[in-house]
Structure 1
Amino acid sequence: MTIQDYMTDLGRRARHASRAMGRADTATKNRALTLIAAAILRDAPMLRAANQRDLDAAATAGLAPALLDRLSLSDQAIATMAEGLRQIAALADPIGEISDMKFQPSGIQVGQMRVPLGVIGIIYEARPNVTVDAAGLCIKS
């Protein structure tokens, strides 16, 4: 499978999943966030082992020490990722919020309503915690 085929397939599957996530209520999204936080803590040894493999491969590839440092996941970083998800779960759900409601001269009411994001792509370098932060915010919104 080419990278283009892989990304096309991934995009299609993400689009399908986004439809279900767009219909999720606040309690469901918050539960997902807290379950992911618990799984991160539960699976911390596995995450550290996978991260070490990434660090070894990156060092072998000659990545700069500063980049290796950003790639590294410490116990504290893992705990912070889980706490970040719990904090996102505690935030108010923005979906469905209506703002800037105005009456037009014709009598109709016009406003802005927050709706689910849909599918997004995130490009970043060497910060595994960004994956969790970004995913948490996407789930919530």
Structure 2
Amino acid sequence: MEFDNETQLQAFATALADKLVPGDVLLLDGDLGAGKTSFTKGLAVGLGINDPIKSPTFTIVREYQDGRLPLYHMDIYRLEDGGAEDLGLEEYFEGDGVSVVEWPEFLRSALPETYVLIHFLKDDHDDDKRTLTFEAVGERAQQLIADLH
């Protein structure tokens, strides 16, 4: 899917939020500035969360509880040398909310059983454009991807 600007990207994420159920996990893969946190802001709007969404780079996990579903926003970048397995992230992944993970390549063996991996790609010629591609692992993730099309 292609998006011409941040507004379109956030609108898509807002619409996607309506389809999410407890235990859904979205893994966001992309370079710095690719739109991962902006996407998460759109999800939060769609979930009815009014708190400002900030990147959890230094806290690893930020919890937002005031929406239709809780939102667990994770940034695993600081765990590039390991340690994600020791954080108990499965409690979030299997919990009552939606988990969004930036830099999922550092999860390694802590990956959940089912998830949607979203790849963010910035356009080389237009800094506002983004292309998102989706990979589904597990039955629920496949259903969610099918609902997007």
TM > 0.5: no
TM-score tier by shorter-chain length is under 0.3
Whichever of the two has the greater Rg, that structure is 1
TM-score by length of structure 2 reads 0.25
User: Quick check: which one's helix share is greater?
Assistant: 1
TM-score by length of structure 1 reads 0.26
User: Quick check: which one's strand share is greater?
Assistant: 2
